[in-house]
Amino acid sequence: MSGFADNLLHLLWTFAQLSVLGFGGGKGIIPQMHYDAVTRYQWVTSQQFTQFYTIGKLVPGPTTIFAALVGYAAIPGRPLLGATVATIAMFVPSSAIMVAFDALWVRFQASPWRVIIAQGLAPAIVGLVWSSVWTIARGVAVSWVAYAVAAVVTVLMLRTKLSTPVLILLSGVVGVAALR
Amino acid sequence: MDRDCFMDGLEISQILPGPNILNLALYCGQRVRGVPGAVAAFLGASIPPFIIVLIAGALYFKYSANPFVQGALRGCAAGALGLTVGNALELAWDERADWARIVLLALTAVTVSLLHMPLLLVLVIFGGIGIVHQYVTTRRPKQ
How many Å lie between the alpha carbon of B61 and the closest alpha carbon of chain A? 9
pLDDT tens for B6-29 read 787 888 888 899 999 999 999 989
Residue-level pLDDT at B143: 47
Residue-level pLDDT at B142: 52
Cα separations (Å) of A115 from A111, A161, B130, B138? 8, 30, 12, 9
Q: Decide if B83 contacts A153 (C-beta within 8 A).
A: yes
* Interface residue B63 vs chain A (CB under 8 A): no
Cα separations (Å) of A180 from A176, B44, B61? 6, 38, 17
pLDDT tens for B79-91 read 999 999 999 999 9
Cα A15 to Cα A10: distance, rounded to the nearest angstrom: 8
pLDDT tens for A85-104 read 999 999 999 999 999 988 78
Instruction: Please list, residue by residue across A48-62, b when 16 or more beta carbons sit within 10 angstroms of its beta carbon and e when fewer do.
Output: bbbbbbbbbbbbebb
pLDDT tens for A35-69 read 999 999 999 999 999 999 999 999 999 999 999 99
Residue-level pLDDT at B1: 61
- Identify which of A73, A99, A126 has the shortest CB distance to residue B30: A99
Select the more confidently predicted residue: B1 or B122. B122
How many Å lie between the alpha carbon of B32 and the closest alpha carbon of chain A? 13
Question: Is a pLDDT exceeding 60 seen at residue A1?
Answer: no
Q: pLDDT confidence of A76, banded at 50, 70, 90?
A: confident
ipTM of the complex: 0.94
Q: pLDDT confidence of B4, banded at 50, 70, 90?
A: low
Residue-level pLDDT at B141: 61
* Interface residue A153 vs chain B (CB under 8 A): yes
Q: Read off the pLDDT of each residue in A121-134 and give the average, rounded to a whole number.
A: 96
